[in-house]
Structure 1
Amino acid sequence: MALGGNPIFNGKNFRGATQAPRVPQAPFGQAQYGQQPYGQRAPGQVMDPQNGWGQQQNMTDEQLREMYNQPAAGPADTGRMTYDDVIVKTAACLGVLLAGAAVTMFVSMGLASILMIVGALGGFVLALVNTFKKQPSPALILAYAGLEGLFLGGLTRVLDLMYPGVGLQAVIGTLSVFTVTLLLFKSGKVRASPKAMKFFMIAMVGYGLFSVVNLVMMMTGLQTGMFGMRSGIIGVVIGILAIGLAAFSLVMDFTSIEAGVQSGAPQRFSWTAAFGLTVTLVWLYVEIIRVLAILRGED
């Protein structure tokens, strides 16, 4: 099963963690190297309910009962990725992102614009670094969140100055899309089927090519305005398509996280999951606030 359209979840390390090979087992009744045959004990050993055959030791009946009554080890106890881990680390990323955005609200407009550019460029670089890094780095992931906070905060302040209230509307829109997508995924009504994945990839390629062409035309002066070709009704239609793609990307992110938890991926990959969700939410917010700005500009 494909993990998702988000390149963060398609990296070799996360994919390898969720598709780890099974541990080879010896035939029934035979021992692996250094082990006793099944059902037999080595001399001087007693059965430990947690550790198997251990060294001979004198244990009272009460101590044995306590050992047998201990709860089984859960995923967190065995160093495996859990949904709680992903939630906590995603909340940490979003908290740092909000802190970065808050910085741009308490500085001059000129400095906020500079921080927006720094955040956009720095966030792009760290996004690439974190995506291709062999092991997830909490420090780099949180740094990415902080830089994206500067970018989103500066962008929101610029657009909110032109269209008052558009920032709050974008936040509400992003939270609404995230909540609805999560509820639909948990109910099983929306899944990343192979057919949907193919449509998503085709749409993403088309959207990416259009965005590159639009950027080049804006940089060369062939297109003017804040959004270039993404203005008027065309901009709204493309924006709605992009919001739909970002929402489906959330579905694939949820699918990847579910696969990681069920397969017992190492706990450190919960940072990878949090990073992937943060990237998708940033993309979703940018698309929503852009569509709102286009609509407000047409008033």
Structure 2
Amino acid sequence: MRTSNPIFSRWGATRGAGPAGAHRREPLGATVGASPTGDYRTNPYASPADANLYASPADTGLRAGSTAVTMDDVIVRTATTLGTVALTAVLSWLLLPVDEANIGRSYGLAVGAALVAFVLSMVQSFRRTPSPALILGYAAFEGVFLGVFSSTVSTYIAPGVVVQAVLGTFAVSAGVLIAYRMRWIRVTRRFAGFVAAAATGFLLLLVADSLFSAFGAGNGLGFHSGGLGLAFGVIGILLGAAFLALDLKQVEDAVAYGAPRQEAWLAAFGLTLTLVWIYLEVLRVLSIFNNDN
């Protein structure tokens, strides 16, 4: 798991020091030092037809002529995707004003961008292989929505909260990265199942809240203000942190098992989705807190 980035440079240092694409595959439940590694009996990136060929420690999921993904690949693709989100967010903040004369048009464009971003993310999610065009398209449209939405929150609800939300997102991400690196968070199948179940319940509550709000219940289920809103937002942040740990595990496995280089785009896509989730939930909590005080 070699990389020139100092943050990730010690990741996987206990694994074999062979060339890229020749990482040691440990059996299910094996350990290296004090850290569990290897959750698969066969290489998860091998094609079904070749699954029975991966029996030796040096076997990988690469096809002839392909290149194994590295941590640097993931960092570059993730920086590109997040940079696209940030750039379009800043441009939409500047070019789509949310004053009284333009808020309707700007918010309409933001909602349209959010729908396009959702469709692109769904298309990519159901594809077997990553499409850089789809992923960067999602990032661009998501950035438009975030820029207008953040500008609206900063203008009408809690001035200055956007900077706090960005710093809060960085803080949560750094905390998860440190906890994962120190193995305080153990990402297992049970952990993944629990996170998936919790996220399903969370999303169902969001849908119910939206329906109650749309059909005359005013404040919906009460997730937009007060103690209940703060609690719901904190749960959302914790879920985002859990998804970030799952993303880090995916990256670690992809590099350790010699996944094809294109997997870096999938990792970047997953990390971007999760960081956007965390930002929105941090923004929700800070907006409610500042508005109630």
TM-score scaled to structure 2, two decimals?
A: 0.74
**CA shift at 1:22, angstroms?**
4.7
**CA shift at 1:18, angstroms?**
9.0
Does 2:274 match 1:286? no
Mark the CA change 1:97 to 1:220 in structure 2 (over 3 Å): closer, same or farther: same
Mark the CA change 1:124 to 1:17 in structure 2 (over 3 Å): closer, same or farther: farther
**CA shift at 1:223, angstroms?**
2.5
Instruction: Name 2:182's counterpart in structure 1.
Output: 187
Q: Is the 8 A contact 2:116 2:138 kept in 1?
A: yes
Instruction: Name 2:199's counterpart in structure 1.
Output: 204
Instruction: Name 2:173's counterpart in structure 1.
Output: 178
Q: Which of residues 167, 173, 183 in structure 1 aligns to 2:162?
A: 167
Letter in 2 for 1:79: T
Instruction: Name 1:222's counterpart in structure 2.
Output: 217
Instruction: Name 1:21's counterpart in structure 2.
Output: 51
* Whole-angstrom distance in 2 between the partners of 1:100 and 1:144: 11
Instruction: Name 2:61's counterpart in structure 1.
Output: none
Q: Percent identity?
A: 36
- The two structures, once aligned, show a CA RMSD in angstroms of 2.3
Instruction: Name 2:77's counterpart in structure 1.
Output: 89
Stretches of structure 2 that go unaligned for 5 or more consecutive residues are 1-27, 29-42, 56-64
**CA shift at 1:192, angstroms?**
1.2
Does 2:286 match 1:254? no
* Whole-angstrom distance in 1 between the partners of 2:215 and 2:83: 37
Stretches of structure 1 that go unaligned for 5 or more consecutive residues are 2-13, 26-76
Does 2:93 match 1:105? yes
* Whole-angstrom distance in 2 between the partners of 1:91 and 1:24: 33
Instruction: Name 1:131's counterpart in structure 2.
Output: 125
Letter in 2 for 1:238: F
Instruction: Name 1:118's counterpart in structure 2.
Output: 112
Letter in 2 for 1:91: A
Instruction: Name 1:28's counterpart in structure 2.
Output: none
* Whole-angstrom distance in 2 between the partners of 1:295 and 1:147: 28
* Whole-angstrom distance in 1 between the partners of 2:145 and 2:257: 36
Secondary structure in 1 aligned to 2:51? coil
Letter in 2 for 1:237: A
Higher relative contact order (CA 8 A, sep 6+): 1
Secondary structure in 2 aligned to 1:190? coil
Q: Tell me the alpha carbon deviations over residues 198-249 of structure 1, each in whole angstroms, 9 at most, x when there is no partner.
A: 4323322221221110011111121338x95432100100110110010011
* Whole-angstrom distance in 2 between the partners of 1:15 and 1:214: 38
**CA shift at 1:147, angstroms?**
0.6
Instruction: Name 1:297's counterpart in structure 2.
Output: 291
Instruction: Name 1:234's counterpart in structure 2.
Output: 228
Letter in 2 for 1:128: M
Aligned length: 235
**CA shift at 1:133, angstroms?**
1.5
* Whole-angstrom distance in 1 between the partners of 2:54 and 2:253: 22
* Whole-angstrom distance in 1 between the partners of 2:109 and 2:278: 21
Secondary structure in 2 aligned to 1:136? coil
Letter in 2 for 1:288: V
Secondary structure in 2 aligned to 1:288? helix
* Whole-angstrom distance in 1 between the partners of 2:171 and 2:237: 12
Q: Is the 8 A contact 2:121 2:134 kept in 1?
A: no
Letter in 2 for 1:244: L
* Whole-angstrom distance in 1 between the partners of 2:47 and 2:218: 45
Q: Which has the larger radius of gyration?
A: 1
* Whole-angstrom distance in 2 between the partners of 1:24 and 1:254: 24
**CA shift at 1:150, angstroms?**
0.6
Instruction: Name 1:243's counterpart in structure 2.
Output: 237
* Whole-angstrom distance in 1 between the partners of 2:46 and 2:54: 17
